[in-house]
């Protein structure tokens, strides 16, 4: 491990600092032989043996909307609604957001403003590809989940990129980076019902629209899947006159 990090430091200081994230993810891997029942590998959850049911490709971009700087995901620059999205979802308040207001593939169109919400199925196992066509390192965070970073490389992601995935010993995490003009792919098991924010970790880009909400949905109303809203929850927006009890 120390040799790998010395190499990482060498790359960072002598060549391209934008590649530090890529190399660190190559170096940081799970030790499958430690703290596990012999002779079995560490743990029993083998993410690389699960078939993905959906691929979501997310491309960040920057541009002007109405003469003001904005940032976007798949051409949609997020604007907050007048009611927290989880409250609108819980109380089924219409007109706050629209499911499918952001595509799961880049459109290549001009940036526009919207309260972007993408729906996904509860208990699905999906692949998310972060495509960075800009000249700076991107950092992405997903609330409510950890994921496995399975691949990172330069250029455009294609289906053939899967041949280079690490399907064995990736480290579980909730934030990942994408090098300039590169992509990063992650696998995530959607086992947590809710309305979850997926956003840039750069505060200015997040504030100016580089985020959206992933609605992980099930028709089940069982408390096994999601608890009721607390009775002392503070309600606001269009939900302020409703009861959480």
Q: What is the DSSP string of 123-156?
A: T-EEEEEEEE-SSS-EEEEETT--EEEEEEEES-
Contact 87, 239 (CB under 8 A): yes
Sheet with 98-99: strands ordered across: 98-99, 116-121, 211-217, 194-200, 138-142, 175-178
**Would you say the C-alpha torsion 11, 17, 22, 25 has a positive or negative sign?**
positive
Residues 6+ apart with CB under 8 A from 223: none
pLDDT in tens, 70-98: 999 999 999 999 999 999 999 999 999 99
> C-alpha distances in angstroms, 84 versus 92, 213, 219, 229?
12, 11, 21, 13
Position 203 scores a pLDDT of 96
Position 30 scores a pLDDT of 74
* Residue numbers of the chain with a pLDDT score lower than 50: 1-3, 5-15, 245
Maximum separation of any 2 CA atoms in the chain, in Å: 63
Whether the pTM exceeds 0.85: the reply is yes
End-to-end CA distance of the chain: 52
pLDDT in tens, 2-23: 445 444 444 444 445 555 556 5
For residues 37 and 82, give the distance between their C-alpha atoms in angstroms, rounded to a whole number: 52
Position 169 scores a pLDDT of 87
CB count in 10 Å sphere of residue 77: 24
Position 200 scores a pLDDT of 98
Contact 85, 118 (CB under 8 A): no
Position 26 scores a pLDDT of 62
**Would you say the C-alpha torsion 175, 45, 167, 213 has a positive or negative sign?**
negative
Position 6 scores a pLDDT of 46
């Amino acid at each position: 491990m120390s040799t790998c990090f010395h190499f990482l430091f060498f790359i960072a200081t002598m060549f391209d600092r934008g590649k530090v994230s890529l190399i660190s993810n190559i170096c940081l891997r799970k030790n499958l032989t430690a703290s596990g029942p012999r002779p079995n590998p560490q743990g029993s959850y083998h993410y690389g043996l699960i078939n993905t049911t959906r691929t979501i490709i997310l491309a960040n971009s920057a541009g002007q909307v109405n003469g003001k700087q904005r940032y976007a995901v798949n051409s949609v620059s997020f604007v907050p609604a007048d009611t927290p999205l989880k409250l609108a979802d819980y109380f089924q308040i219409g007109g706050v957001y629209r499911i499918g207001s952001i595509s799961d593939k880049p459109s290549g169109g001009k940036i526009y403003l919207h309260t972007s919400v993408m729906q996904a199925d509860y208990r699905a196992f999906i692949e998310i590809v972060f495509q960075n066509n800009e000249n700076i390192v991107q950092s992405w965070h997903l609330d409510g989940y950890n994921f496995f970073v399975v691949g990172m490389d330069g250029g455009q992601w294609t289906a053939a990129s899967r041949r280079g995935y690490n399907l064995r010993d990736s480290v579980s995490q909730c934030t990942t980076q994408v090098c300039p003009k590169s992509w990063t792919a992650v696998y995530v098991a959607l086992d947590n019902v809710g309305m979850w924010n997926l956003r840039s970790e750069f505060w200015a880009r997040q504030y100016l629209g580089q985020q959206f909400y992933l609605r992980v949905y099930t028709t089940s109303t069982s408390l096994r899947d999601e608890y009721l809203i607390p009775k002392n929850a503070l309600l606001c927006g269009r939900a302020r006159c409703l009861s959480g009890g």
